[in-house]
Structure 1
Amino acid sequence: MRNGTITTFILLGLTDDPQLQVLIFIFLFLTYMLSVTGNMTIITLTCMDSHLKTPMYFFLQNFSFIEISFTSACVPRYLYNIATGDKVITYKACMVQVFFTDLFALSEFFLFAAMSYDRYVAICKPLHYVTIMSKTVCRSLIICCWAAGLCIIIPLVKLLLKLKFYDSNIIDHFTCDVFPLVKIACSDTWFIELIIIICAVLTLILTLTCVVLSYAYIIRTILRFPSLQQRKKAFSTCSSHMIVVSITYGTCIFIYMNPTAKEEVTINKVVSLLISSISPTLNPFIYTLRNTQVKKAFMDSIKRTELFSAK
């Protein structure tokens, strides 16, 4: 393993204040449980309810799976660090965490683009929706999302594994992340930093372009609907996805617009915490509370459970 003499890292976390750590632990534990419960509920409903077998809910099912995976890759480890006071993480575990957190994050951006395309076809080409968004096409899009994430993260991790660490093993973050690792590396890091920025910018630009173009056509089509009721119904099918996309892209763009390096460290940690805890918690509620079919499926499942319990 080419990591010089260092075989472990120390994750500083967010704060050393014991009282703040207790509050952070309670906050993260509650949001993590809500996130897993909410997203698992969506996965269960979309698997069991026959009315939720459309492409939109197929993509939502995969989105919920990525959300659970992403938050599980970083939050439980930090909860363990706070609970035990053990901030040490091995080199291998750190690299594995980098790989999976970035893979899930990258795949999620490409999934946003796929979900936007699905909404575009549903509203702009409704008569051809079933033909265009067939099961084969939906599965292919999901595979492409994961493949795109892997194609980006594998070369990055390979470059990261070549970095050597001699002087410091202290990571100023609550999780293993690429930039904090690059900052403490003793090797020449200009090339890997350049590749990271290029990959991040290209991913954001490509996926955001797909999202913006899809919704530009969607909004143009909806505004041509003669009935106000039709326009409201069409907007309601897209509003949840638009809210989630806005939150995710907004936080990511915010990270890259920090004015100074000192502020970057503190703000990025806080924003990263919000991305890994708040967003996965809110997303199930955004989709369910604004979606009549999901709410109906949820109520039907409760009724079936009550009937089963009564028997």
Structure 2
Amino acid sequence: MAPATDAKRPRISDDDRLVNMWLHNRSANTSRAYRADVDAFRQWTGKPLADVVLDDLQGWFDGLTGSDATRRRKLASVKSALAFGVRVGFLDVDVGAALRLERGRDRLSERILTEEDVKRIIEQEPCPRKRVALRVLYFMGLRISEMCALKWRDMTRRQQGGVASVFGKGNKTRHVLVPAKLWKEIVAVRADDWRPDTPVVPGHDGSPLHLRAAHRLVKRAAKRAGLPDASAHWFRTCLRSIWAMVSSGLMQVEAGTPSSPPAIMPRMPASMTSPVVQPTRPALPAPMQRPEFCVRATQAKTRPSMAI
């Protein structure tokens, strides 16, 4: 007889079990995005994943809206889930393997703000709390999910500024320097009854800042500065591009530039990180000289004989 707890446990479909196993040990943000992609595909087809054919996957992909990068990411999520189902024996055929995922055009250079643009976005924000959020994103080079998850237990005070222990993408922890001026601004918006689990960048009511609210905050600030297409990730790309050029010797660190480079240097356009090489005149070939052993051999042949 089965235990009573099993009778109360809600039954889930095989597709739900497959998705849960596929997303096991992934981060919360990754799981949320991937699950939404697969759920949208399942809702569009209206059939179990075991009955999906190539026509379903092609029709769903052709009907997707949004940017090319977003459409490719959603297709990659569904293809990954189908391939995982075949590996664990839930599915018989991987229909996603027959659909080629073409590489899109690299538009990274179009998503890089200048340092002046970022400063204008920050300076035109009237709310001190929101201005601190923008400065944390830029001067610490954080992803927006990392900023929302940052607690005061992750912050360590130093004589000048501090250090933040950031737990981010890939379940990796890195240590980011916090400039002294930014540290003072963060402390200024901190609640008086703060505890170790108090968020570093709080919401309007002191609770942790929600991810969607943080995105809206950045979008409104960027639109106010005349940059409606900018997003939070553009802040990080701007910072990393600056330090990529600094490390390449193309620019010097100026006042107001974040005091530490990001932990991982970015993929940057070659035109931004490669020093300019001036064309040089080819060197003229050196005059041909006879090797020393040839000279000695010639002298030996021309030496007069001493025989009588």
Global fold match (TM > 0.5): no
Give the TM-score taking structure 1 as reference length: 0.23
**Higher Rg:** 2
Higher RCO (C-alpha under 8 Å, 6+ residues apart) = 1
Q: Would you tell me which structure has more helix in proportion to its own residues?
A: 1
